Amino acid sequence: MLEPFVGTGWWPAVSTVAGLLAEWEMTDEAVALLRPLADTGHRKAVRELARLLAGQGHIDQVVAVLGPRSADQSLASELVELTVGCGRDAEIAALLPAVGVGATDPFESRVTDTWDTVPLHAALLERQGRIDEAAALLGRHVHVDGRMYADHAEQLARLLARHGRETELRAFTVEGGEEYALSVLTEFLEERGRIPEAVALLQGPAGTGNPHAAFHLAELLARHGRHDEAVEVLRPVAESAGGDSDWIIHLLCRIIVDAGRADDALAYVDDYFARHDGSRHEQALARAYALKRCGRAAEADAELAPFARLDEDLLHDGTVRGGAPAVRSRGGSRC
């Protein structure tokens, strides 16, 4: 059925058939199918071909396919990922575009047409054991032209943690990478059983109103059975988060339910939405989340049923156009 479409080079058909061939362990046939399209420069075909070749251990061919195309950010990332452990990191680094002057935004063509190669070069340096150079490269590019690059900050923090550089990681929490370094340092301490230190580390920023620090502190406390303390950390945050409190409320409900107090979680939701004159739909979503968390799926479905009917009626009447929901979406919350 798909052969006529494959013959035209239509990518969805080629991709589907190549995937089936690979699934049936007919990898050579899949490679042969993808290669002509990849040779034309089709990005997705190049990527899929490289992955198949890597799976067969043909790293020379992976480099031959991806190396000449490493100016493409997606394919350069693929090249770095597929060559882990192959001992060719210096060679791969030489194939990548050099680090430019500062980090760049690929979506801002008026600023620059180049892209941010810092994370890839730092990863390759780390793989070669050149930890100081990797850390220095990332450190120079955490703040560029008054702008903070979160990916660089998190990568630097995790690099320092992986190599046990606690002193540098602690310094980074106060030298421009606070939010990212703080969470990584907390994980670092927890993994080593230093729970009181991890708690103390987060209590400061959580106490000054940082909602993300409070979120991580509550999760940490809950993981170690200190559910009541976790709830007390989160309650004031939910009250001060305004209209963007859903992620805090969900965590509160999860912690209360996990402590075996599902009815208390439901009561908290009802009290919160009554005091804040919140949306009935959002209240039902929060209640349904708590009910599902404790295994009461039928009750959760019953909570949401009236709103499913409302959405269907609006769609039928034409009030909602293009399939957009009539009630504000719950997507996009940070946590």
Rounding to the nearest 10 degrees, give the CA dihedral for residues 259, 264, 266, 272: -120
Nearest to 333 by CA among 257, 273, 282: 282
* Terminal C-alpha separation, the chain: 44
User: pTM score > 0.85 for this model?
Assistant: no
Write out pLDDT tens, residues 38-66: 999 999 999 999 999 999 999 999 999 99
H or E element in which residue 147 lies: strand 147-148
Write out pLDDT tens, residues 125-183: 999 999 999 999 999 999 888 888 889 999 999 999 999 999 999 999 988 777 889 99
φ, ψ at 164 (rounded to 5°)? 65, 25
Q: What DSSP assignment string belongs to 32-65?
A: HHHHHHHHTT-HHHHHHHHHHHHHTT-HHHHHHH
User: Is the distance from CB of 73 to CB of 106 less than 8 angstroms?
Assistant: yes
Span 307-335, average pLDDT: 48
Residue 314 has pLDDT above 80, yes or no: no
CA dist., res. 314 & res. 122, Å (int): 52
Alpha carbon of residue 160 to chain centroid: 20
Write out pLDDT tens, residues 199-235: 999 999 998 888 889 999 999 999 999 999 999 999 9
CA dist., res. 71 & res. 114, Å (int): 9
* Residue 110 identity: R
Q: Token digits for 305?
A: 């049923």
Give the rounded percent of residues in the chain with a pLDDT score beyond 70: 87
User: Is the distance from CB of 253 to CB of 293 less than 8 angstroms?
Assistant: yes
Residue 279: predicted pLDDT = 87
Residue 327 has pLDDT above 70, yes or no: no
Write out pLDDT tens, residues 76-104: 999 999 999 999 999 999 999 888 744 44
H or E element in which residue 314 lies: helix 297-317
Rounding to the nearest 10 degrees, give the CA dihedral for residues 98, 100, 102, 108: -110
